[in-house]
Amino acid sequence: MALTAVIRVPSRALLRPWARLRDAALGWIEPAGGGGVEVSAQRFASQKVLVEPDPAAGVAVMKFKNPPVNSLSLELLTELVISLEKLENDKTVRGVVLTSDCPGIFSAGLDLTEMCGRNPAHYAEYWKAVQEMWLRLYLSNLVLVAAINGASPAGGCLIALTCDYRVMADNPKYCIGLNETLLGIVAPFWFKDNLVNTIGHRASERALQLGLLFPPTEALQVGMVDKVVPKDQVQSTALSVLAQWMAIPDHARQLTKNMMRKPTADRLLKQRDADIQNFVSFISRDSIQKSLQMYLEKLKQKKG
């Protein structure tokens, strides 16, 4: 991967490359001149997120690669944020297509194994990473187009909802939606806000309470996706849409996007810590842990 962003990081963290990269990606870095050292991010080859830049076109394709189902593990979330940050800082890139490298699955959503049987400190770290992913994507200055080439429940749907435009493959087996209630859990307010901003209040109320997973044609009808095309045209269509959006002057489009989205993002930014505490206490409940364990068991038994 030809990404060569240089990140200034605190020298103390050199002992822990993983934590250092995460800190840099999440913005926990010393200011320039603060005694850090410069390292090329290219040295740390990404494994869960593949980025294919096309500088001539000013675009990149970002592919999630966390088989079998692209669950959003802490590692994938961290790599996603790092990759996005590099692209934001790359002056040759103005737009990104987000898609999946796993056949038939865009993303299975948050990684249930990160939310089951762990300790409160882990839940807090995980939730902070989920928040960070959403904030970075939702407020990105880049044009983001989701090429939804597979199933996209819950957190997978959330990623698609952060994009400026969604193209979905026409396979009726691929469903998209915020199905949290089916797991006995509740979509956080910022998931809900992002959905309401996309499909409106009444449709969101119904979709969220019932945990609806929409097949492509229904997703199109309700406005959850913008275009449905045959599977082999998803990426090319997403790239064409990207080109249309990139015909608009960046500064005008970016200011408009920010004007539309900032109030929603600010709601979370103002109460990030409280939101983390809320998540930790909710997810730590015995009843919630039991529900999630049962759901995971059901997924496993489906095979046998």
Active-site positions read: 110, 155, 179-180
Q: How far is the CB of 82 from ligand LOHRUJSQ (least distance, A)?
A: 21
What's the chain's length in residues? 304
For 261, half-sphere exposure in the C-beta direction (CA atoms, 13 angstrom radius) is 23
Supply the DSSP symbol for 214: B
Which residue of this chain has its Cβ atom nearest to ligand LOHRUJSQ in the complex?
109
Q: How far is the CB of 139 from ligand LOHRUJSQ (least distance, A)?
A: 20
Per DSSP, the three-state class of 153 is: strand
Plot region of 109 (φ>0 → left; ψ -120 to 50 → alpha; else → beta): left
Q: How far is the CB of 106 from ligand LOHRUJSQ (least distance, A)?
A: 9
Quote the CA–CA distance of 117 and 242 in Å, as a whole number: 41
Cβ neighbours around 210 below 10 Å, total = 12
The residues of the shown chain that bind ligand LOHRUJSQ, judged by CB under 6 A, are: 68-69, 71, 105, 108-113, 151, 153-155, 179-180, 183, 185-186, 188, 278-279, 282-283, 296, 299-300, 302-303
Q: How far is the CB of 251 from ligand LOHRUJSQ (least distance, A)?
A: 35
Supply the DSSP symbol for 110: B
Report the residue number, 42 or 278, with the smaller CB distance to ligand LOHRUJSQ. Answer: 278
Quote the CA–CA distance of 156 and 109 in Å, as a whole number: 4
Angle, helices 120-138 vs 272-284, to 10°: value is 130
Report the residue number, 47 or 113, with the smaller CB distance to ligand LOHRUJSQ. Answer: 113
Closest CA to 7 of 23, 281, 175, 52: 23
Report the residue number, 13 or 283, with the smaller CB distance to ligand LOHRUJSQ. Answer: 283
Cβ neighbours around 292 below 10 Å, total = 19
Q: How far is the CB of 6 from ligand LOHRUJSQ (least distance, A)?
A: 34
